[in-house]
Amino acid sequence: MSLGSKAGLAPSKPMRDVFGDALLKVATDNPRVVVLDGDLANSTKADTVRNAFPERFFNIGIAESNLVGIGAGLENAGYIPWITSFSSFLLCNAYDQIRLAVAMSNINAKILGSHGGITLGKDGPTQMGIEDLALMGGLPTMTILVPSDPASMHAAVKAATDHVGPVFLRSSRVGMPHIYPMDDCPFEIGKANVVRQGGDLTIIGCGLMVAAALDAAAMLAEGGIEARVLDLHTIRPLDTTAIVAAA
């Protein structure tokens, strides 16, 4: 049984491809957007901007600390940098720079942590960003977004770009089933979405686990238990109001 099938969700293309499309859209709409790459644009799909706007794309190479530092410098020059790499590489190799140059300085930089979680399979544990949300959550000023499907990825990339301040956006390599219509995804930073109503219990998820939560809710419904499902796409600031209301 594939993820989302129990809940009747349609499969999607890989989320890294969706991110590439969304990044190209904000770069097309906003000439201040620049993209920095750690020699992984073919994997993160930031190459969409490289192909369309080569003058606004910077491949810093396998040098994550410099990647963050140069991004901070470009922000200081008036640009909106999207700093892109694998979550594991950025957080393990450039955490000090993210902490000081981005979070503590409260600059208007956006960080893509791609290939988050354990969904990489054969790529192995060195590529898996399993610590990213915990590490980013310990930093001041950092907004943390984890979209759950293609529509919310597009909405999250736009919201992150429009938001003034540091943003960390976690993505994955694999596809996530469609939860929202592509042209109608409610997305407000700090406000969870109720994607399924139910009065017996509440399941809260983010990212890939929202589809899993909807599958679980569908199975519970077969036994007469109606579960509400919350898409907690913003890990920080946390929507405590929605969580308390669901209790």
Q: Of the residues 64, 75, 131, 226, which is catalytic?
A: 64
Read off the tokens for 161. Answer: 């770009």
Start-to-end Cα distance in the chain: 30
Q: Does the annotation count 188 as an active-site position?
A: no
* Distance between CA atoms of residues 81 and 78, nearest Å: 9
* Distance between CA atoms of residues 36 and 66, nearest Å: 10
Count CA within 13 A, CB hemisphere, residue 246: 23
Encode burial over 178-190: b for 16+ CB neighbours within 10 A, e otherwise: bbbeeeebebebe
Read off the tokens for 191. Answer: 């406000």
- Looking at the annotation, which residues are catalytic? 64
